[in-house]
Structures are given as C-alpha cells and as structure tokens.
Structure 1
Amino acid sequence: MAIERIPKNTLNKNSWAVNTFNFWQNERNKLALDPSFNISVIHPKLEEMTKDELNFALSRFVSEIKKKDGNDYPGQSLYELVMIIQNHLSVMGKSCQFLNDPTFKQLKDTLDCIMKTRSAKGIGTEKRQAMVLSVDDENKFWSRKLIGDFTPQTLLDAQVVLFGINFALRGGQEHRNLRPGQICKKYCEIVGKYYLEYTEDVSKTNSGGLASRKVKRKVTTAFENTDCKERCIVRLYDTYNKLCPSDRPQDVNYLQPAKKITADCWYSTMPVGRNTLMKTVARLCENAGIEGYYTNHSLRATAATRLFADGMDEQLIAEKTGHRSSAIRSYKRTSIEQQFKVSKVLQGRPPKMAKLADFGPGKQSIKEECDEELKCQVEECSNVEIHKENKSSVRYVHFEADLPEGANISLNFDKK
C-alpha cells in the first residue's frame, strides 16, 4: 500500500536507476568469470546487500557505469542515480544515508572525485533548459494558423499555449491534471473586462499532503484580450467549452478531437494522453520552423521571462508561477539586449561630464562652468548652442549639438 502512494514519476525514476544498476551488475559478473580481468563477483541483489556491500558495490558502480553509447555519464547523473537508489531502498524499508553515514565514506569520496574529474573535462557542465518563446515565435503560431479556433486540433493547442503562458503551468503532467473546475470565468467591474481565474489543485510545490497543509494555493488570472479578439484567452476558452460534449468528464480539461465532428461538437469524451500533451510545444515549433530545444516547460519559462524583462516585481512573478523560493530566478532569462547593456557597463562608461547646475541670470557660460575635460569635448564639437532662460522658478536649458559618430552626451542636473 505504501508503494501505491508514491508518485508515478518517482516510481519511474526508481525503476530506471535500479535497472541501470542491475544491468551493470550482470555485465560485471560476466566479466568476473574471466580471470584476466581480475575483478570480483558481486552476488547479492541490491535490496539484500549489507551496508558494507552497498558501499563497495556502489563505489564500483559509479566508477564503471557507461551510457549505452559507451560515453561517460555526467557527474550530476551519477549523483542522481545514487540518490534514487537510496530512495528506492528507503521505499523497500531499508534506510541508508549514502552521503552522511561514515559507513559509505568510500562511496562518497569516489562519487565526489568522479564528479570533479568529469566537470573538469566539460562533461555535463551545460544544463539543458527549455528555451523561451519570443513574441515573434508565438506570432508564427498564430499567423500560420497552428493555433486558434480553425480546427479541433488548433483550438486544443491554443488552450495549451495560452494556459501555459498565462497561468505558468508546468510541463505535461500539470496540463494533464488540469480540470474544468479549476478555471472559472469572472467579470471585473473595476477594469470592465472578463477574465479567467485559475486555482491550483496539486503541483510540484503543493502536493496536498502534510508538508503542504499550510501552503497557500496558487490563484492567478488572465484577462480577455480586447485588442486582438482572435487571440483572446477568454473567448477561445468559451469556444472550446461550447464545442465539448455535454457528458464531458470533469476530471480532465483537454479532450481528444472527435472522429466525426459536428457544428456543435468537436471533441470526444476521451482525454488527451500525457505524452501527447507533453509534445505539444515541440510539435508546434517544428511545424513553425522554429529550431531549438522547446518543450511545454518553455511556456512557463516564457511567462517568467516576459514579466522579468518588463520590470515586474519578483513577488508578482512568483504569484504567477507559484514559486515559494529563489528558484524562480532560474526562469528569469535575460535578453541579449540586457546582456549587451551589462557588457557596456563593465567595459567602462563614457568620461564623466560636468554638471549643468542652476543656469540663471549672471551665471557663467557652459564653457566657463564646466571642467577642462568637458571644455575640450565641447570645443571639438561643431554647431553647439546653449540657450538659458529663467522662467519663474523653472530652470530651462536647451542643448543642441552635432556630435561625431560614437560620441555621448550626459546631462546631470542638481536641484539646489
């Protein structure tokens, strides 16, 4: 019964790690039969090993295991294999702390050494992240009619894209778990617009268990797009609901297109599979001719990145994504323009310009007021005119200059 309560994704990871270890053990034991290899046989099954046997076997495992193509695993992958095996043993009722128990010092030292060695070789140092969709990329989806209310499939895909960006949903599983009851259409009198309100059910940061009992569920909104009704999330959601069967299941939101569609019904009562949903963005990008590593998680990263690039406060971004820690920063991808600006700052700003302070009647001219460095710069420029006027309490300065290409002017005003 305990195993049944473990998330399916965790069980899949456990199977991957255990199967990888069992494959290595079998292959090693075959080689051990040949005296020329001078290696020992590892007889016990993983779950039946003592701590000392685990310490030796896992130390050999992380040292010798290779990918199917013969290449080395990245250090991070080896670490995950060891931690997943530890979790598997815990599920089976065998508690082990591989990185904290002194009994496993050999395993810890071996793993640490291999991780450092492979990082130094550049193996696994680049973390593969789902790429962010630019506004132009999204426009390609719309302009090429890959999403929209044109066909059952394009309307379905539009839901995935719009919900993924506007509600910052995670990958395939969170889309697969989405239920109609989590989305409610409301009207805001303050702004005079309809909007959709999404309420989180369960997620990576809110599993609904004891550890999450005090966690506030994410509630976020998406207002109707009155500037471009063809792309309006509220209108498209209404259209989708009207074209679903009257006896639609209430535990899933995304339904498969019907084999025979009618004017009133485009969809069947069968839910779209998790794997099919997970491939939605990758399929759309391929059809739109967009190259790169794009997944459904790109929609979530796109949401955070767009808000970050527009200067939104981190708390507002966290409310949209549902993050409860600094992990949100990994989703805020800097643009090339921001990186260019940082580079310019690091390479040095233009020479400091003199302050234009309180120009009024009886004040000196700009060349007399500025320092020698600015005098030199002004004298090297042509067509420089300075006009000073005293209008009540307002200081007015008009500056015109034709500067050489690449030159900069900085005006700084000090309030007296």
Structure 2
Amino acid sequence: MCHCHRYGNTQELLIPRARASEHERVSCATDDHAKDGVRSNSDTKPLSAVSDNQQTVANPSTSAARFGDPMSEQQIREKNVGAVPKKTRALNEWSVKVWVDWARHRNAQPVTVYEPGYPIPEDIGLLDDAMLNYWGQRFIMEIKRQDGADHPPNTLHQLVCGLQRYLRNVCGKLYINFIKEGTQFNDFRKSLDTRMKELYAAGVGIKRSSSDPVTMSDEIRMWEIGVFNSSSATGLSNAVFYYNGKLFGFRGFQEHINCQATQFEILEDKEQNLRYILFTPGQRKNSQGGLKGRKFVQEPVRHYEQPDRQHNLVELYERYLALIPRAGPMYRQPLDGVDENNNPKFSAATISHNGIKSMMKRFFTEAGIDTNDSKITNHSARVSLCTTLYNKNFADKALTSRSKHRSNAVQAYQREQFDILNGISDALEPELKNPKVQVKGDGLELKLEKPKFCVTETVSSAADEKISSAKVEQYSRPATMEFPVLPSSDCHVDDGLVIHVPNCVKNLVIVKSDEKK
C-alpha cells in the first residue's frame, strides 16, 4: 500500500532495517513488472527522477487494456442506484412521496401545532429516532389511498419497507429496522401490526389479485386460430414468447427484456437420440448475483423434443433462432412477407417495451378468448408452468428445476385444476348416495351410482304397493336410506324386480312384505 498521500508530498518511502534486505529504498511508482520480483538498486528510481511522461503512462497499451477510465462520485452513485431492481426503486420513490404528501397535509392541521416536533419535516431522513418512532405511528394509522379508500395490509408493509430502504441507502442510517421486534422503533412496529390486523378483520386485501394460468384449451385454440405458428414471423415470435414463460419460467417483463439469443442452444442427446433446447438462465429476480448470490448457480434447463406431438417446439425454436441475429436481444420485430428463400423476415430492431408488456393480452384478443372472468398477464405463462406440473403430480424438486424458485413461494403458483378440485369435493361429501330409480319397460329398475355399496331391498310383489324402504349397507358400517315413494300408476311390476348390484355382492336377500325370506 502506498502511503504517499498520507504524508503530504513525500515521494519516497523508507523501509525499516528489520524488514529491508539489500534495498534501502523503494519507489511508490511501481509498475506491472514488480510482480516478477524485487528490482535491483540500479533499476530503482525515486519519483522525482522519473519524467512526467513516464509517470503518466509507463506502458500505454498495457495500462489502457488493464484499467478503465477514472470514475467520478456521481458515476459511482448512478451505478449503485442502477443495480437496484427497477420495481424496488419505483416503490422506494413512491413511499417517500406518500410521506411528503402526508407531512404537508398533517402540518396544515391545527392539532399538529401542539404536538412535539412540529413542523413535521418533509424529508423523513431529518427526523431523529424518537421523532421517527412518534410520527411513524401516526403516519401508518392515517394514510389512505388517493380515492379515500384504505390501503391493503400488504401495501402498508411495502410502504414501511420503502421508507426503511430510503433511510438506509440514501440517508446512511444503516441501523434502521422497523420490522424487527425490540428496537427503538417498537411502537412504530406495533402500530403497523395493529393497523394491518384491523384492515384484515374488515376484509380489506383478503382477496389477492394474481395472474391466472393459460388453460390447455386456450393454448390449443391459439394454435388453431394461428396466433402461434411457424410459418410467419409474428406467429413464431408469439409462440417463442409464450413458451419462454411456460417452458423456462420467464417472469412477466424484465426477464423477457433482458433475454439474449445466446442463452438458447439446440443440441442433441446422442444416448437418447433426442434433440433438446438448452436454456442457460441469466440474471433473474431471485438471482441478481453480487455478494449474496455469489454461491448460487442456476443450472441450465433442458427441454427435450416430443416427436409424437403435432407442434415440435424444438423445431420451432431452431427455426426462430436461425432467422434472427445469433447475438443480442432475443425478441426482434417481426416483419410482413418472406425473404428470397421464402422464410419469415425479422427486423434488426427489437420489440418495444410497451409491446412486450401487452403480449399475452394481445394473444387472447386475437384468438377471441374471453378474459372477463380471469386475469391474464405475461406472468400467466409462468403460472401455467407451475400449475401444469403440480396437477400432473410432479415433485416440487422437478417443478423448481424449471421455475427456478428458491423458496416455498412456488406454492402460490400451484393452482388446482378441475380434476383435483372435484376429487377433493367428492372425497369430502357424504359417501351415501341416492340410487337412481327408473321405470323400465314393465319392471322397476334400481341402479346404484357407486359400485362400493351392497343393497338390501324391501318391496311388495303387488303392483299397487309402494316402495317402502331400503337398507343400504356399506362394507364398513350399515346405513339406512329411504327411497322416494312412487305413485302406483308408475309401478308396473308383475311379480318381478330388476336390481343392478356390483360384482362384489355374493348374495342378495329380498325381504317381502310378509317378512318371510
């Protein structure tokens, strides 16, 4: 380490005798050759003996390649801010704005004049810890939406977290923690907890708005209508966008924007004699890199072709990648018509951000699919991935190998489809079920809905007698069920009764009205 600046203009550093060998002095102006060993006395010169040109650039080609341009404080600050996810920055800015609006409103109230710390500073960073704890309680209890409605409980939590990040990152108060118990802000935390419980009890924010999955019938319709196809540039682009979400778990917007064509390769598994798409994930929401994520490695994802399917997705990706530049953004603007080789054409320009945001909604509109009862967003393709694998009974490990979830948040994406929901409903219903009673021909026919019940019937041989009762016995325990009473005019039984019973029944006992067997 060079200590030249610590001691003013001193240009030479003396080494203590105990640590020096044959060298008495070393120069602070070392270069790349110093790593090869200590130079001899004849090669060592003090800085004062080195010309200005030599001090500036010892080896222009080497230093220019090894070091970047000098960075100013402003440039470093901008890079640090840019490393924060865009949505997080927006939430931080919104949280600070809500505080500013509330402080102006509160200062205009006559009662505020008599409270400690008046006026409330519009910059929350100017408050000391005691006043931050005091005014924080009132802030969280009083704020509402612009239309006068209450904020959902989760929104209040996000507001507090946004203010906390502002105080830490911008104001330098790294010790601030509003969420942790037992700090100097415990009253603020208690008020936040109380307000969230109060809102939840009032039904505010109970129903969360989340993206719905794309059903298989909707997906098939998009192929049939031509929203997805491999013959046009627009159809190819649409299909690749959707399946990037369904096959590889792309989130709604930023991951599509950041996607590069070089992340996809078409390879062959020679052992299985199948081709596959190899997708290598880049920076994602839960894998930003940096100090916290340095040990986390996202494994590439393989999607094997399915030769028996009408639409071969490996061929679709191969065709798309062959028609766009191999390096650079994945989504290129599709053009009308074909080139001289009769292939779809793509522009060098990328699809706009606004175009990316509305892709899934456009697909449904073009396919004529009604979305009034569902919430369809770009995120719906990722929800379809998790929902499909969950309903097909894949283990969570297999599911997360595609979705790349790192927590149990994957459960929020798993939506039970009809077969599972209906199966749960069926399992929870009372097991006894009314058999169907039908008049068939000149006899009375009884059918059981479920074959797991044994039946004992009590009927009369007379045509004008009514069905009186029936005992339905389950294997584990008996139960009694009353059949509906039919009018005599509907019962045309000539001393006979047709009863359908399951194969498990070995003996059927008919008890007549005289109770003789």
Same fold (TM over 0.5): yes
Q: CA–CA distance in 2 between the matches of 1:105 and 1:318?
A: 38
Instruction: After superposition, give the CA deviation of every residue in 1:6-52 in whole Å (9 maximum; x if it has no partner).
Output: 233321221121122212222333x32x5799875313511222112
Secondary structure of residue in 2 paired with 1:210: coil
Report 1:371-390 matches (<5 A): 373=478, 382=499
Unaligned runs of 5+ in 2: 1-75, 434-451, 455-474, 482-496, 509-517
Report 1:242-391 matches (<5 A): 242-244=322-324, 248=325, 250-258=327-335, 262=339, 263=342, 266-287=345-366, 288-291=368-371, 292-349=374-431, 373=478, 382=499
The CA deviation at 1:260 is: 8.5
Number of aligned positions between the proteins: 368
Unaligned runs of 5+ in 1: 355-369, 387-396, 402-416
User: What amino acid sits opposite 1:272 in the alignment?
Assistant: I
Indicate the residue corresponding to 2:249 in structure 1: 168
User: What amino acid sits opposite 1:130 in the alignment?
Assistant: S
Instruction: After superposition, give the CA deviation of every residue in 1:359-398 in whole Å (9 maximum; x if it has no partner).
Output: xxxxxxxxxxx89959x9xxx9825596xxxxxxxxxx99
Indicate the residue corresponding to 1:60 in structure 2: 138
Question: Residue 76 in 1 paired to residue 154 in 2?
Answer: yes
Secondary structure of residue in 1 paired with 2:333: strand
Aligned residues: percent identity? 24
The CA deviation at 1:261 is: 6.6
Which sits farther off after the overlay, 257-266 or 87-96?
257-266
TM superposition score normalised by structure 1:
0.79
The CA deviation at 1:137 is: 1.1
User: What amino acid sits opposite 1:121 in the alignment?
Assistant: A
Instruction: After superposition, give the CA deviation of every residue in 1:234-259 in whole Å (9 maximum; x if it has no partner).
Output: 22222222332xxx372311112358
The CA deviation at 1:271 is: 2.2
Q: CA–CA distance in 1 between the matches of 2:223 and 2:201?
A: 44
The CA deviation at 1:200 is: 1.1
Report 1:179-190 matches (<5 A): 179-190=260-271
Q: CA–CA distance in 2 between the matches of 1:371 and 1:173?
A: 58
Secondary structure of residue in 1 paired with 2:200: helix
The structure with more helix, counted as a fraction of residues: 1
Indicate the residue corresponding to 1:235 in structure 2: 315
Secondary structure of residue in 2 paired with 1:171: coil
Indicate the residue corresponding to 1:85 in structure 2: 163
Indicate the residue corresponding to 2:207 in structure 1: 126
Contact persistence 2:332–2:347 (CA under 8 A): yes
Q: CA–CA distance in 1 between the matches of 2:350 and 2:277?
A: 22
* Bigger-Rg structure (1/2): 2
Q: Which of 174, 177, 186 is equivalent to 1:97?
A: 177
Q: Which of 170, 188, 191 is equivalent to 1:110?
A: 191
Contact persistence 1:182–1:198 (CA under 8 A): yes
Q: CA–CA distance in 2 between the matches of 1:87 and 1:371?
A: 62
Indicate the residue corresponding to 1:221 in structure 2: 302
Q: CA–CA distance in 2 between the matches of 1:186 and 1:398?
A: 58
Secondary structure of residue in 2 paired with 1:211: coil
Contact persistence 1:133–1:299 (CA under 8 A): yes
TM superposition score normalised by structure 2:
0.64
- The CA RMSD over aligned residues, in Å, is 3.2
Instruction: After superposition, give the CA deviation of every residue in 1:324-367 in whole Å (9 maximum; x if it has no partner).
Output: 3322222221113212222222234459869xxxxxxxxxxxxx
Question: Residue 17 in 1 paired to residue 134 in 2?
Answer: no
